[in-house]
Amino acid sequence: MTEFLSLLVTGVVTGSIYAVTASGLVVTYNATGIFNFAHGAVGMFLAYLYWQLWQGWGWNPILALVVVLLVVAPVFALAVERVLMRPLYGSSLNTTIVVTLGMFLILYGLTSTIWNQSVVRNLPSWFSSDQVDVLNVNLTYEQLITVGCAVGVAAGLWVLFKRTRIGVSMRAVVDDPALASMTGARSSRISGFAWMIGFMLAGLAGILLAPGTGMSIQILSELVIFGYAAAIVGRLRSLPLTFLGAMILGIGESMAVGYVPSSALNDVTAVLPMGLLIIALLILPQAKLTVGRVVRLRAPRVPSLTTTVVSGVVLVAVSVLLSSLITGNNLYTLGLGLSIGLAALSLVLLSGYGGQAWLCQFTFIGLGCWAMTKVDGGSSILGVLAAIGLCAAAGGILALPALRLRGLYMALTTLAFAALMDSIFFINPSVVNGGSLTVGRPDIFGMRFTSDRSFIVLIAIVFALCLIGVGALRRGPFGRRLVAMSDSQAACATVGMNITKTKLAVFILAGGLAGLAGALYGGMSRTVSVSQFSFVNSMVLFVAVVLAGVTILSGSVQAGIGLAFAPVIGLHIPSISGFTYILFGVGIVAVGRNPYGMGRVYSDIGTWWDKRRAEARADDGLTGNPPTDATGSPLTEQVPSVG
């Protein structure tokens, strides 16, 4: 009994940390409808700032704490809300996801650039060795403060939402923004206030965590992901349930250490946070899980067969040309870019057409690589088929929760799946010995593709065929069903469409496509480290595809090439060590709110050019009518049509 109580107390300490992190997420989501994927990165950035003020510049620790949490965090939050978030209110889910992911990348890159990561930084404890006995467990003052902070945050937020005018207004805005505005509630002020609280709680969590985890940008920014489970238990709405979820998680971890048999302990502790997240997502009532909204967008013109085939031919021709002109790292990077582009194409199918937010594509690439190595010596076409088959099956399994989940919850499920695979599959020495895979290249009709150029051409041909295939799917009945499902599942069900079948099919197809990409990615790389399949890379890939245009086929090519070449460009700018992260972060923040990504930018440039030409013709006395599209609308509303 004594041990049980001791484990209970330690579980409460851990749960308190989860509670502080998760509550910030919930407050922001409650008032704005935006799930802030950058919550951990905000906490990390503020923890570094705190270190700088206290340890770097010798400020008094209390003064530094006050400045960071009560001055910098609120000002930072207001700036972010005004510049980045306010334009997002009412945007599509994918847009809100990628813009907050973009902020994550910017903060990650900025912090690593400002604070050289090769320098060891420790954030000391406030109190050296003072401790208190609580139910046979000695707790330090820091741990008591953490628990106190969790209690204080819980009480403070309760008072805020129940007893203050602005808190009640926040709840009113969430319930019915239009009605709330008629009663005089200023939604911009309310959302700004919510972001301030969110940032302050993120900073508090980061500062509480840093002495234990060390000043690591990776750990501090990713740790909050394990608090998602708590937030989901609270359905992203209820703070009491969120705190309950945090305590379930903390105490569950503690009790697992105490009572799970040693033979299963590693697996249980590795699975627990993400496992709880998946369970929470699956058992909560479906009605409550329906988040997001239908945003009326003009769909991009569907590319014709001619267009996709010409595009495919151009892709192959350009790849052949480039591969004969470039050498060394650029040549390899081209091959990697094309194979990543193929994985990105599966996201176009799934997210762009099907409306499903997927954050685990690099997990599928990893599975594809792994399957390739396991079949027929690792250099067989059978390995490629195994990669496609395994990933298609995995896609089918992931489709099962998707049958009842959508939007943000589906995104979180796939993220949890990716994190689980990182910690229980790829890390397992019996699965991947030594942490790296040596992947062969398929032997096709006696062609072994030993030279990199020949393999790049093979990847380009496969990619082109897949582009044409996905384009054909989009034009056919299946593509129309996908888009309809993405627009409104309820409407689809009303007209008798089999949503289950459609979802299952698109997940299997996308999984298989990503598996094929994995086999080719592995073959191009020859040696891959399992750390390349990290869920963070999947998040970056998702950002890259949306940035390039998730609803257009060419977006996948741009995303793959961009993602592969950005680090190479970064090598030439060593003074900005977080270049790749900053580049994609800034890019997505700039254009991510447009569902056509960079495609829209190209379209705008084309429109501007057409207008210039029309004006020039008018000046020359020719017809002055601006160009219009097929419906007669001005071309300024045109969206990209190229696949």
Partner 1 sequence: MRLRKGRTVTCGLALAIGVGTLSLGATASVAGADTATTTPGITATTITVGSISDISSPIPGLFEGAKVGTQAYFDYINSQGGVNGRKLVLDARDSAFSSGTVASEAQSIAKNDFAFVGGYSLLDGAEQPAIDADKVPMIAQTLTPSLSADPNLYSAIPTVNGGAGNGFFKWFKSQNPAAVKAVGFIGSNAAASAVASEHVYRNLTYNLGYKWVYSRDAGYTETTFLPDMIKMKSSGVKMVLEITEGPTEISSMAQEMKQQGLNVPLVTGAGTYSKAFDPGSAGNGTLLYTSTALYMGEDAKVIPAVGTFDKWAKKADPQTALDLFTLDGWINAQLFVQALKNAGTSATRASLVAQLNKVDSFNASGLITSQNPAQKIPGQCWIIAKYNNGKWLRTSPDPKSAFICNPNGFYPASYKGIPR
Q: Could you say whether residue 494 binds partner 1 (CB under 8 A)?
A: no
If one counts every other C-beta atom within 10 angstroms of the C-beta of residue 425, the result is 16
In whole angstroms, the minimum distance from the beta carbon of 294 to partner 1 comes to: 35
Specify the stretch interacting with partner 1 by CB under 8 A; choose among 208-216, 228-236, 399-407, 632-640.
208-216
Return the amino acid letter for 525.
S
Closer residue to partner 1, CB minimum distance, 193 or 455: 455
Specify the stretch interacting with partner 1 by CB under 8 A; choose among 231-239, 276-284, 325-333, 356-364.
325-333
Closer residue to partner 1, CB minimum distance, 258 or 606: 258
Q: CA 415 to CA 312: how far, in whole Å?
A: 32
Q: Could you say whether residue 119 binds partner 1 (CB under 8 A)?
A: yes
Specify the stretch interacting with partner 1 by CB under 8 A; choose among 155-163, 221-229, 399-407, 480-488.
221-229
In the region spanning residues 59 to 118, those forming contacts with partner 1, defined by CB under 8 A, are 112-113, 116-118
How far apart, in Å, are the Cα atoms of 475 and each of 169, 297, 331?
A: 47, 18, 34
In whole angstroms, the minimum distance from the beta carbon of 243 to partner 1 comes to: 17
Q: Out of 13, 394, 473, 546, name the contact with partner 1 by CB under 8 A.
A: 13
In the region spanning residues 252 to 281, those forming contacts with partner 1, defined by CB under 8 A, are 253-254, 257-258, 262-263, 265-266, 269-270
Q: Out of 60, 181, 286, 329, name the contact with partner 1 by CB under 8 A.
A: 329
Q: Out of 525, 556, 558, 594, name the contact with partner 1 by CB under 8 A.
A: 525
3-state secondary structure labels for all residues of 396-443: HHHHHHHCCCCHHHHHHHHHHHHHHHHHHHHCCCCCCHHHEEECCCCE
Distance between first and last Cα of the chain: 65
In the region spanning residues 415 to 474, those forming contacts with partner 1, defined by CB under 8 A, are 423, 426-429, 432-436, 438, 447, 449-454, 457-458, 460-461, 464, 468
451 Cβ contact list (under 8 Å, min separation 6): none
Closer residue to partner 1, CB minimum distance, 493 or 571: 571
Burial class (CB in 10 A: 0-12, 13-18, 19+), 481: buried
Q: Within 13 A of 125's CA, how many CA atoms are on the CB side? A: 14
371 is written with which tokens?
Answer: 């399957």
In whole angstroms, the minimum distance from the beta carbon of 296 to partner 1 comes to: 33
Task: Give the 3-state secondary structure of residue 571.
Answer: coil
Q: Out of 134, 166, 174, 320, name the contact with partner 1 by CB under 8 A.
A: 320
Q: How many residues bind partner 1 (CB under 8 A)?
A: 112
Q: Could you say whether residue 120 binds partner 1 (CB under 8 A)?
A: yes
The string of DSSP codes covering 46-72 is HHHHHHIIIIIT---HHHHHHIIIIII
In whole angstroms, the minimum distance from the beta carbon of 468 to partner 1 comes to: 8
Q: CA 170 to CA 588: how far, in whole Å?
A: 28
Contact 38, 100 (CB under 8 A): yes
In whole angstroms, the minimum distance from the beta carbon of 100 to partner 1 comes to: 20
491 is written with which tokens?
Answer: 């409407």
In the region spanning residues 14 to 43, those forming contacts with partner 1, defined by CB under 8 A, are 14, 17
Closer residue to partner 1, CB minimum distance, 320 or 635: 320
Q: Out of 7, 41, 236, 388, name the contact with partner 1 by CB under 8 A.
A: 7
370 is written with which tokens?
Answer: 């792994």
Q: Out of 54, 161, 195, 226, name the contact with partner 1 by CB under 8 A.
A: 226
> How are beta strands 527-529 and 436-438 bridged, if at all?
antiparallel
Closer residue to partner 1, CB minimum distance, 399 or 439: 439
If one counts every other C-beta atom within 10 angstroms of the C-beta of residue 617, the result is 13
DSSP 8-state class, residue 81 = I
Closer residue to partner 1, CB minimum distance, 51 or 596: 51
Q: Could you say whether residue 387 binds partner 1 (CB under 8 A)?
A: no
Q: Could you say whether residue 181 binds partner 1 (CB under 8 A)?
A: no
